Amino acid sequence: MSATLTTAEAPPPAPEERRPSRLPRWATRVRRPAAAVAAGALLFLSFPPRPLWWLAVPGFALLGWALRGRRLRAGFGLGYLAGLGFLLPLLVWTGEEVGAGPWLALVAAESLFVATACLLVAAVSRLPAWPVFAAAAWIVGEAVRARVPFGGFPWGKVAFGQADGVFLPLAAVGGTPLLGFAVALCGFGLYEAVRVLRTYRAAGAVPRGPLAAAALSLLVPVAAATAARPLVTDAAEDGTATVAAIQGNVPRLGLDFNDQRRAVLDNHARRTEQLAADVAAGRAPKPDFVLWPENSSDLDPYRNDDARAVIDRAVTAIGVPTVVGAVITPATGKLRNTLIQWDPQDGPVATYDKRHVQPFGEYIPMRSFVRIFNKNVDRVSRDFGPGTKVGVFDLAGTEVGLATCYEAAFDWAVRDTVTHGARLISVPSNNATFGRSEMTYQQLAMSRVRAVEHSRAVVVPVTSGVSAIIRPDGTIVRESRMFTPDALVAEVPLRSSLTPATRMGPLPEAALVALAAAGLGRAAYGAVRRRRPATA
């Protein structure tokens, strides 16, 4: 008896997806690379300060069209182009004061992670329900990029562009990995739905299975985000606190603002004293505590009596606990980027040292090698060292979690403060180095996502702006202008319950990595089977 299938038993071939192109040959060759670059550009445009979060969905749809069915090498190349289209404009602020070299080097390196993620997308793109595996593959790329090299660089995670989007409630369910996965899945599902309809239209009947899978990929993320909305609340579980964020401003923009460290300190002290006068005159409510930004005192108050006297005078005037951002300069060893809890009676009573210091900003890896390409590395003449303890200050009875500037981009750095009891989060920052670029708006969006992720109010005091006070539902209640002295005062709810995202921590990301691995294993098994010689 023959082992071959009869004609009646053989599955019908799928309708041919490819159609003769009417485009010139050169246009046919460049359309996928052009689509990859355009997809990256749409992802960039979905980020703040533009309220165009929804552009990420067609961005992923276009990327899906460029990658589906491509070989691995082509997927990597197209992904690299997408990374350039995305990260070149997104990270242009990194060259604001140091020139194009570091900016281009960073983009070239980070685009490799996008390219690798797209290679994985191409590998799983012929599987049934491939948008699910492809979206998980994208999260694999983000997960690796957030960890290596030098501790990672998660800036530009898709989730950080969704602070105004309909998918935001998913941050409370599974953190930034689940939020980014939902956006990518919706985009890939949109392309797959269009592809299925176009592919089978000529056959006169659309198969229900592929169309249903595509429709679910498109609709389930939206439905899940809608179902998660009850998790997004700004109800006060533990009362409220009145908080003040001080923005003192800097003497001038750019890297050289540090040359006027005393002027920066005086600006923040002066603005705090002015707030104290406004409180005494009844023009402003009295805060329970005050938050200064990172680098508000680059003069070490432990070694500089004059700086200590300035801070003491300002904190005594306002009369409440104040968090001061300072650079600590021990006689030996590395510098410390430190937040100091300053009491009006007892002075400095607690400290938090930034745990994730910024490579090439606060310390220089491979200094002698990097100096060959850019002499600006010598501006960082003494490296900063990382702290080891989680930062939670008790300020007038309110536990405040601390994540200094760059740390807000890292999931673990913010979550740790909440699991250690923080009922409110502060993200003191210093963005003066980056001028009037979009950097400060991108960072503010991160804090808004973190507010929803952990259901905590977030206060963002910045030296030069934009400072803001954010409620646990991600809405901004007070916001400053850039390079304008200000004191933001607002009453915010305090919360102690933990969201599913806070409870699970890295588990959602690990589950998505496992999902991507399952898809890759299935794709590899299918490839091996196709390569086996035919047997009777």
354 is catalytic: yes
186 is catalytic: no
96 is catalytic: no
Report the Cα 133 to chain-centroid distance in Å: 22
- Kindly name the residue from 142, 354, 362, 453 that is annotated as catalytic: 354
Per the CB < 8 A criterion, the answer to whether 357 and 382 are in contact is no
* 122 vs 115: CA distance, rounded Å: 10
- Kindly name the residue from 294, 399, 453, 509 that is annotated as catalytic: 294
How many helices (H) does the chain have, and how many strands (E)? 14, 12
Tokens standing for 512?
A: 């998505």
Tokens standing for 38?
A: 């355009």
Which amino acid, 142? Answer: E
Following DSSP, what letter does each residue of 59-103 receive, concatenated?
HHHHHHHHHTT--HHHHHHHHHHHHHHHHHHHTGGGGTTT-HHHH
Closest CA to 448 of 244, 241, 234: 234
Strand order in the sheet with 424-426: 392-395, 398-402, 424-426, 458-460, 468-470, 476-479
Please, is 356 exposed, middle or buried when counting C-beta atoms within 10 Å of its C-beta (0-12, 13-18, 19+)? buried
| 3-state class (DSSP) for residue 397 | coil
CB atoms within 10 A of CB 49: 12
Tokens standing for 477?
A: 């209640």
- Kindly name the residue from 405, 438, 453, 509 that is annotated as catalytic: 405
* 444 vs 450: CA distance, rounded Å: 10
Quote the DSSP letter at residue 429.
B
* 248 vs 262: CA distance, rounded Å: 12
Report the Cα 347 to chain-centroid distance in Å: 35
Tokens standing for 78?
A: 């197209």
* 62 vs 288: CA distance, rounded Å: 50
How do beta strands 392-395 and 398-402 pair?
Answer: antiparallel
Per the CB < 8 A criterion, the answer to whether 452 and 483 are in contact is no
Long-range contacts, 527-536 (Cβ 8 Å, 24+) = 535/3, 536/2, 536/3, 536/4
Alpha carbon separation from 325 to 320, 355, 450 (Å, rounded): 16, 14, 21
State the catalytic residues: 294, 354, 405
